[in-house]
Amino acid sequence: MKSLELVSLFFAGEPRELAEVLSHARDSGLYTKESMTPGDALNILMIQLMAQNRAGRLTPETLQNACQKVDAADLKAGSRIVYALLLVDLARDVGGNVTFVGEVSVSGSEIDWELLGAFAPASAAFTRQVKQLEAAHAAATKRGVAS
């Protein structure tokens, strides 16, 4: 099972069911420190953050710790921007701010669209932002200016 499949399960099912899936994946060795990519680890972290947010237990400090993990992860810029956007969206929900150490600049063709689409249901605002990004990228691509 890929970690993006776990993201889909999070949005499709009950959080309790997802906890069971994560527990099974860990217990069966599907996700060990040795086998997990930085992206897998961040996908699971984002699921945990969204679950905490749904339960009303997400704090600005937890979000800032997550920002540090995103900063430290060995990722392509197109994936890093997706995690950064999601953390900003979560910060808006909890009334906090997030700070990243480095800058991330990507063109539309560099964005990890699969990853962005997987997290699109995170909130109504995030869904709207993703649709706007997709529309802008499609329009730029159609004009021959993939931005």
Q: Where are the domains of the chain?
A: 3-143
Highest mean pLDDT among 7-11, 83-87, 96-100, 106-110: 83-87
Q: Is the pLDDT of residue 144 over 80?
A: no
Q: Is the pLDDT of residue 106 over 90?
A: no
Residue 31's SS3 state is: coil
Tell me what pLDDT residue 37 has: 85
Tell me what pLDDT residue 16 has: 65
Tell me what pLDDT residue 36 has: 79
| pLDDT tens digits, one per residue of 5-58 | 777 777 777 666 666 767 766 776 666 667 778 888 899 899 889 988 988 999
C-alpha dist (Å) from residue 51 to 41, 54, 122? 15, 5, 10
DSSP annotation string for 39-91? HHHHHHHHHHHHHHHHTT---HHHHHHHHHHHHHS---HHHHHHHHHHHHHHH
pTM for this structure? Answer: 0.84
Mean of pLDDT values over 78-102? 91
Range of lowest pLDDT (73-77, 121-125, 137-141): 137-141
Higher pLDDT, residue 2 or 79: 79
Q: Which two tokens stand for residue 20?
A: 């069971």
Q: Is the pLDDT of residue 101 over 60?
A: yes
